[in-house]
């Protein structure tokens, strides 16, 4: 059985025909799986990433990170140090919390595989005595902020296709760990496959990673702004992953 005409046209259009090089060696089940995966890929994004490398001269501002030898270590802030800058930052942060100008983003697309746990990483019982989950701990901090300052902290949770339903079910059963359900927003991140021919160089990998980082950052920002807008204020957003 040959690949579907739609698949052939799609790959030819984007110069990825080599992905079918071993089609004849696949079983019927494997062929169906491959076709399904190919149809879920956002090929316009793949092409855009490849163009970042092919047009390096026109995208120098994007490719600056290629010069790793010139990278410098950012100035570190010593935790616990009492100085005017730290005091001012703490004061302004407390003012923003009291004014309801703070939102939070939780990147929660990972699974607990490396922990030997079958489920979203956020549902893993992380404390030794109470067996509270990672979600309990993180959302509990926002609940504590709410109690202290009397203002809700809208929370945007970015899940993945593997964790979205389980995360929603877990937090619903847990009454959102003390947060108001209308203050919690979900977004399942898009899965992006890295497609690398053997001749690919490191520059292409860097370009794709940069593109992915930009996409994820923009997605998080959009959902945080949605949460902020629903509460009728312009504010600040904290990100936790």
Mean pLDDT of the chain: 77
pLDDT of residue 167: 95
| 42 plus 146 within the same structural domain | no
Q: Is 155 helix (H, G, I), strand (E, B) or coil?
A: strand
Residues 221 and 139 in one domain: yes
Q: pTM of this prediction?
A: 0.57
217 contact partners, CB below 8 Å, separation of at least 6? none
φ, ψ at 132 (rounded to 5°): -70, 145
Nearest to 156 by CA among 99, 107, 120, 214: 107
What is the separation of C-alpha 36 from the centre of its chain, rounded to a whole number of angstroms? 23
Confidence (pLDDT) at 232:
47
Does residue 71 lie in a domain region? no
Q: Clarify whether residues 105 and 49 are in a common domain.
A: no
Q: What is the mean pLDDT of residues 2-29?
A: 88
Q: Residue 48 belongs to what domain range?
A: 5-66
Range with lowest mean pLDDT among 31-45, 146-160, 225-239: 225-239
Residue 88 lies in a domain: no
Same domain assignment for residues 40 and 118: no
User: Do 115 and 205 lie in a common domain?
Assistant: yes
Does residue 142 sit in the same domain as residue 225? yes
Is residue 76, in this structure, part of any structural domain at all? no
Tell me what pLDDT residue 233 has: 44
237 - beta bridge partners? 103
> What's the domain count of the chain?
2
pLDDT in tens, 185-227: 998 876 655 555 544 544 555 555 555 556 655 655 565 555 5
Would you give the DSSP letter of residue 150?
S
Same-domain pairing of 106 and 186? yes
pLDDT tens-digit map of 90-127: 888 899 999 988 899 999 988 998 889 999 999 999 98
- Distance separating alpha carbons of residues 73 and 76, to the nearest angstrom: 8
């Amino acid at each position: 059985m040959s690949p579907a005409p739609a698949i052939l046209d799609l790959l030819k259009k984007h110069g990825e025909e080599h992905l079918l090089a071993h089609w004849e060696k696949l079983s019927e089940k494997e062929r169906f799986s491959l076709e399904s995966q190919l149809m879920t890929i956002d090929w316009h994004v793949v092409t855009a990433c490849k163009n970042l490398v092919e047009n390096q001269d026109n995208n120098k501002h994007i490719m600056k990170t290629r010069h790793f030898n010139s990278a410098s270590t950012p100035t570190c802030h010593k935790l616990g140090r009492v100085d005017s800058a730290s005091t001012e930052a703490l004061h302004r942060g407390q003012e923003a919390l009291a004014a309801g100008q703070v939102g939070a983003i939780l990147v929660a697309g990972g699974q607990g595989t490396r922990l030997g746990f079958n489920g979203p990483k956020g549902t893993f019982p992380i404390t030794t005595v109470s067996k509270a989950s990672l979600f309990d701990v993180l959302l509990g901090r926002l609940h504590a902020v709410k109690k202290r300052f009397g203002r809700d902290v809208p929370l945007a949770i970015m899940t993945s296709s593997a964790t979205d339903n389980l995360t929603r079910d877990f937090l619903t059963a847990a009454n959102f760990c003390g947060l108001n359900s209308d203050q919690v927003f979900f977004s399942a991140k898009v899965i992006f496959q890295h497609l690398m021919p053997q001749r690919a160089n490191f520059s292409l990998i860097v370009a794709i990673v940069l593109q992915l980082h930009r996409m994820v950052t923009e997605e998080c920002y959009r959902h945080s702004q949605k949460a902020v807008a629903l509460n009728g204020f312009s504010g600040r957003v904290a990100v936790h992953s």
